[in-house]
Structure 1
Amino acid sequence: MRSSKKVAVVTGASQGIGAGIVRQFLARSYRVVACSRTITPAGQPNLVEVAGDISQAEIAGRVITTAMERFGRIDTVINNAGAFLPKPFTEYTESDFSNLVRVNLGGFFHVSQMAIAEMLRQGSGHIVNITSSLLAEQPVKGVPAALTAITKGGLNAVTRSLAIEYADKGIRVNAVAPGAIRTPMHATDAHAFLATLHPMGRIGEIQEVVDAVLYLDDAAFVTGEVLHVDGGANAGRW
């Protein structure tokens, strides 16, 4: 049965930015389907957890099927699952390449394709891709990460492509491109260095990325936007 409450799907939802997004959507009275490889049930009535690797088509299918069977609709998909592997370009292995493409692009592709098929049937929907500012658009000499840039930059490009493809179908597609954010991904002793990568002289907070996601979800006349939450890094050299 189709619910009148909006439904969000969030990947990479067990910690950091993903967990923050889940909390805020629940606070907005959304129903949420959260996916991560290590996620565990929290026992909340409006939250359903799906454990598994979202880069696998069968897991993506389970996430979308769960949303439709439990709640009858999908209003927003937040593609937050991703991997970061800094390494000199010539030292990347075939395994590194396959893993980054599988997680950063495959994790987006399968769940988005299935979700958009449902959104087309209901005549509305919103996709938000969590990409990267520092790696995809403002490479840093001291942080070589070309394969991460290829995959995250690909998400920025496909955000604009899908926004145009579905603009007249009631489906919006946007992205949030964070700088370095205070999450479990970054060791505490690296924060001082990471702060130097932003003109504002600090790293970002999870809530600042969440606020950007919520803004885009509310902004009905915004599509194809890559919203930078990076302390000014995308604006240029400093």
Structure 2
Amino acid sequence: METGAPPDTRKVAVVTGASQGIGAGLVSAYRRAGYAVVGVARSVPLSDESDYLTVRGDITEPETAQRVIDRTIERFGRVDTLVNNAGVYISKPFTDYTIDDYVAITSVNLAGFFHLTQRTIPQMLRRGSGHIVNISTSLVDQADSARPSALAALTKGGLVAVTRSLAIEYAARGLRVNAVSLGVIAPPARDPESYTGLAELHPLGRLGEVADVVAAIRYLDDATFVTGETVHVDGGQAAGR
């Protein structure tokens, strides 16, 4: 920014797991909404556009989280929304999980959340406003013996719990924290055969689309009287059968 230039008043969203699927959909949606966006992933294509900055790195490492925040503040001066979208899901019987599985899942789903969120909140507190969205799964609420997912429940269930905790801790200081709990969301480019039968898991009878998730998160951004909430984007899965 040139000396004497007016400050950048655009809102800024930081999105993890930005290289594909839901993350890429969120990046596009926020840019269309006039936000500046910082996309974070290990293999995200490099970008240094006026409204889109990418940061490559492993979010399980504290150094990556610090670099994301440093570059975001240096470039755009603020953080309005953080979407903790990056996640790992491995479905196995509980006793079949390996130590490597455990480390991979807990590192991304919990440590990645912790490092980046802990560094983002002080930036939001400086402005007295901000919104954090955590991505969970409806398997936390509706366990399914056909899809054993104990480590998803352990980690994503933890994100639902910490969503409520942080929402209350920071409500009086202008921050909101919400979660979005997902059913099976098909990526835009998919092999139909790999999703055979999964639509039947949802009472609405179809797979979720990236656009469904994006719409829910953008709703929460605009719903300034909503905090500590978990919105289920799962075709009715959490409601039962």
Is TM-score (shorter-chain normalized) higher than 0.5? yes
Please list the CA deviations of residues 115-143 of structure 1 after superposition, one character each: whole Å capped at 9, or x if unmatched: 0011111111100011111x211111111
C-alpha displacement at 1:27, in angstroms?
A: 0.3
Partner of residue 192 from structure 1, selected from 191, 196, 212: 196
Q: Could you tell me which amino acid in structure 2 is paired with residue 209 of structure 1?
A: V
C-alpha displacement at 1:70, in angstroms?
A: 0.2
RMSD over equivalenced CA pairs, Å: 1.5
The answer for the alignment partner of 2:214 in structure 1 is 210
Q: Could you tell me which amino acid in structure 2 is paired with residue 30 of structure 1?
A: Y
1:75–1:126 Cα contact (<8 Å) kept: yes
Q: Could you tell me which amino acid in structure 1 is paired with residue 59 of structure 2?
A: I
**Are positions 1:77 and 2:82 aligned together?**
yes
The answer for the alignment partner of 1:235 in structure 2 is 239
How do 1:45-124 residues align onto structure 2 when only pairs under 5 Å count?
45-124=50-129
2:134–2:178 Cα contact (<8 Å) kept: yes
Please list the CA deviations of residues 1-31 of structure 1 after superposition, one character each: whole Å capped at 9, or x if unmatched: 7521100000000000000000000001100
Q: Could you tell me which amino acid in structure 1 is paired with residue 21 of structure 2?
A: G
| TM-score (norm. length: structure 2) | 0.94
Please list the CA deviations of residues 55-86 of structure 1 after superposition, one character each: whole Å capped at 9, or x if unmatched: 11100111111110000000000000000000
CA distance in 2, matches of 1:196, 1:44: 42
Report how many residues are paired.
236
The secondary structure found in structure 2 opposite 1:120 is: helix
C-alpha displacement at 1:107, in angstroms?
A: 1.0
CA distance in 2, matches of 1:187, 1:110: 34
C-alpha displacement at 1:185, in angstroms?
A: 9.9
C-alpha displacement at 1:160, in angstroms?
A: 0.5
2:178–2:229 Cα contact (<8 Å) kept: yes
The secondary structure found in structure 2 opposite 1:127 is: strand
Please list the CA deviations of residues 161-209 of structure 1 after superposition, one character each: whole Å capped at 9, or x if unmatched: 1000000000000011110001279753132321111011111010000
CA distance in 2, matches of 1:210, 1:42: 22
Q: What residue ranges of structure 2 are gaps of 5+ in the alignment?
A: 2-6
The answer for the alignment partner of 1:144 in structure 2 is 148
Partner of residue 222 from structure 1, selected from 218, 226, 230: 226
Q: What residue ranges of structure 1 are gaps of 5+ in the alignment?
A: none
CA distance in 1, matches of 2:79, 2:142: 33
The secondary structure found in structure 1 opposite 2:197 is: helix
CA distance in 1, matches of 2:175, 2:202: 33
Q: Could you tell me which amino acid in structure 2 is paired with residue 117 of structure 1?
A: P
CA distance in 2, matches of 1:183, 1:42: 22
C-alpha displacement at 1:41, in angstroms?
A: 2.1
Q: Could you tell me which amino acid in structure 1 is paired with residue 90 of structure 2?
A: L
The secondary structure found in structure 2 opposite 1:223 is: coil
The answer for the alignment partner of 1:156 in structure 2 is 160
The answer for the alignment partner of 2:31 in structure 1 is 26
Report sequence identity in percent: 55
